[in-house]
Amino acid sequence: MSENSPFLGEQYDESQSEMMSEMVILVDENDQQIGSMSKVDSHLGEGALHRAFSVLLFNSSQKMLIQKRADTKITFPSVWANSCCSHPLDVEGETEMEDDLGVKRAAIRKMEQELGISSDQLPIDDFHLITRMHYRARADEKWIEHELDHILLIQADVDLNINPNEISEIRWVNQTQIEDLISNSPDNGEIIAPWFNEIYSRYASQWWGHLDEVSSLQDNVVHHIGDVETSEHSSLLDALKGHATEVESRIITALEKSNHERLKKAMMHLIEGGGKRLRAILPWLVADACGGSSDSLYDLGAAIEIIHNFTLIHDDIMDNDEMRRGRDAVHIAYDMPTAINAGDAMLAVSFELLSEAEEISSDKFRSLVSIIGKMVRKVSEGQQLDMDFENRDFVSEKEYLTMISGKTAAMFTTCARTGAILSGATPDVIENLADWGENLGLCFQLMDDLIDATGDSETLGKPACSDVVEGKRTLIAIHALGLEPSNLPTFHEVFSSRNEDTPRETLDEVLSELQASGSIDYAKDRAMSFHQKAHACLDKLPDSPALSILRQLTDWQLIRIS
């Protein structure tokens, strides 16, 4: 394990931490060994592709053993997975590729360690390599699985002696039972490991009933399936998609009221660029967690989303950004005066939409107008501070957080506060959820800064490292500017150069300097602190499926690419 790894100690189980020093086998996409790396390093950040295995153990009654991973596991704790999954190690006997012997030996070792099955009950010749699957699955903001998974099948009646440090629960299931478990997750309170979900849905569901014909099931293919998610994250995305449809129709109806075709198209330009409509959906999700959702929340969300897009149009003008969401900014696609006019019209349309929402009472409408009006003012103040910072030699961390509290977090705070108000929540619950929105928004902006620095232009829909080139005082830059300049020579050369033609190689060197100096890690740590504060707010609310969605949303901010 890396000597300077920060992930050892009281945060993780001692036994699990010790195993993170084991050396796994690094492979290329064709499963050829290219080296080795400690388990901890191969699972951090973006991960390193390494060999793994997943065993499906069936008994003579054709029931499959599944396990619930212990809560002491460092990656994917407390999720349901296949019979046994782990890694062959870079040790004698486990690197041998002929007949997949190395992987099979590793499987026997781990099945004894996790399940207590003696090796004499697991003849190596009874293991069958069915297929291989290359996937990535993000566990949380720190940990990731990036594996070329050898899927092994064995049928045997065995004696079990479960290791509670590895496994909290086991079940022998038939096909109907496993399909019920997977199809009802996470509403049944159970989460399915993403690799197991893929193995079952893609392959194992077709194998059941054909265990006596193992040779016909085998292939010699590496299936590259890309990024996969837990059923928990899938449920969040499904919820966002469902609500997005509702608010989208209201947004379009409101903006299409304009009688001027060019103005209407300019207002629709960013909306047509897509997006998850997070702010638009947030009031409904918050109200649902408070037990009082209604269709009026969609009108409220649509109004806030229109305001959000109005601010983006003006931001792009003020920041000289030519791209937004992978397409031309509005002032580029049309012209500067039209973009300014479209933004102004969108602000008016948002209040018009809100005033026409039939389910919002007059007294609550007055409160909403006041709160949203203050939000627009705070966003404008935050934007002005952001521009002021570009002309200053020094900006403190406190000043930066004040700026993003207005420019970004104010909108999240407003979404949470107004959603709680329309749900009929008590004043203390309203204030608690407003605090949640504030911390969520601060985390969101810090993650945006990190994504700008570490992402790629195609994914971002704008030039990567554009904040550095433009001289933006992000928390990353503030930290870097406080260090000895000789430690970050390329960063100081590029920072605020406004050279749009800066070579990618130069920007990669900037990123390397920011990582080596600790500036990237510092911003990540601050994002995590706001993430934890947001969860602390949710801890004050009673558990429910709706609250679970807010928790997932809070965690999703740390792994999103938007």
The pLDDT tens digits for 93-106 are 999 999 999 999 99
Tell me which DSSP letter residue 189 carries. S
Residue 209 predicted with pLDDT over 80: no
Output the pLDDT for position 464: 64
Mean residue pLDDT of the chain comes to 88
Residue 560 predicted with pLDDT over 60: no
CATH 3.90.79.10 boundaries in the chain? 14-229
The pLDDT tens digits for 383-398 are 999 999 988 999 999 9
Check if the beta carbon of residue 414 is closer than 8 Å to that of residue 373: no
From the list 274, 352, 343, the residue with the least C-alpha distance to 307 is 343
Least confident of 36-50, 58-72, 199-213: 199-213
Residue 437 one-letter amino acid: G
Pick the residue with more confidence: 430 or 279?
430
Tell me which DSSP letter residue 42 carries. H
Residue 165 predicted with pLDDT over 90: no
Check if the beta carbon of residue 443 is closer than 8 Å to that of residue 541: no
Output the pLDDT for position 523: 93
Joined tokens for residue 140: 């949380």
CATH class held by domain 235-244+279-294+318-329+370-556: mainly alpha
- Report the pLDDT averaged over residues 252-276: 91
Cα–Cα distance for residue pair 440/90, rounded to 1 Å: 42
End-to-end CA distance of the chain: 32
Output the pLDDT for position 205: 64
Give the confidence band of 237 by pLDDT, cuts at 50, 70, 90.
low
Question: What is the phi-psi region of residue 339: left when phi exceeds 0, alpha when psi lies from -120 to 50, beta otherwise?
Answer: alpha
Least confident of 2-11, 54-63, 99-108, 243-252: 2-11
The pLDDT tens digits for 331-350 are 999 999 999 999 999 999 99
Question: How many CB atoms neighbour CB 477 within 10 A?
Answer: 24
Output the pLDDT for position 230: 62
Output the pLDDT for position 219: 81
Alpha carbon of 330 to those of 267, 308, 338, 432, 472: distances in Å?
Answer: 8, 14, 8, 37, 21
The predicted model scores a pTM of: 0.61
Check if the beta carbon of residue 71 is closer than 8 Å to that of residue 77: yes
Least confident of 47-61, 233-247, 527-541: 233-247
Check if the beta carbon of residue 314 is closer than 8 Å to that of residue 343: yes
Q: Hunting for tokens 């403190």 — which residue is that?
A: 396
Least confident of 261-270, 495-504, 509-518: 495-504
Q: CA 197, 74, 18 angle in degrees (round to 5)?
A: 130
From the list 479, 482, 484, the residue with the least C-alpha distance to 515 is 479
Dihedral sign from CA coordinates of 152, 153, 158, 163: positive
Residue 562 predicted with pLDDT over 70: no
Three-state DSSP class for residue 332 = helix
The pLDDT tens digits for 433-460 are 999 999 999 999 998 898 888 765 444 4
Cα–Cα distance for residue pair 200/431, rounded to 1 Å: 44
Question: How many CB atoms neighbour CB 456 within 10 A?
Answer: 11
Return the CA Rg of the chain.
26
Output the pLDDT for position 116: 96
The pLDDT tens digits for 296-330 are 999 999 999 999 999 999 999 998 888 887 789 99
**Does the N-terminal peptide bond of residue 186 adopt cis geometry, omega within 30 degrees of 0?**
yes
Residue 6 predicted with pLDDT over 70: no
Residue 51 predicted with pLDDT over 50: yes
Check if the beta carbon of residue 225 is closer than 8 Å to that of residue 133: yes
Give the confidence band of 13 by pLDDT, cuts at 50, 70, 90.
low
Give the confidence band of 235 by pLDDT, cuts at 50, 70, 90.
low
Give the confidence band of 465 by pLDDT, cuts at 50, 70, 90.
confident
Residue 405 predicted with pLDDT over 50: yes
Output the pLDDT for position 232: 57
User: Which superfamily is assigned to 14-229 in CATH?
Assistant: Nucleoside Triphosphate Pyrophosphohydrolase (3.90.79.10)
Joined tokens for residue 154: 């064995």
Output the pLDDT for position 67: 95
Output the pLDDT for position 552: 78
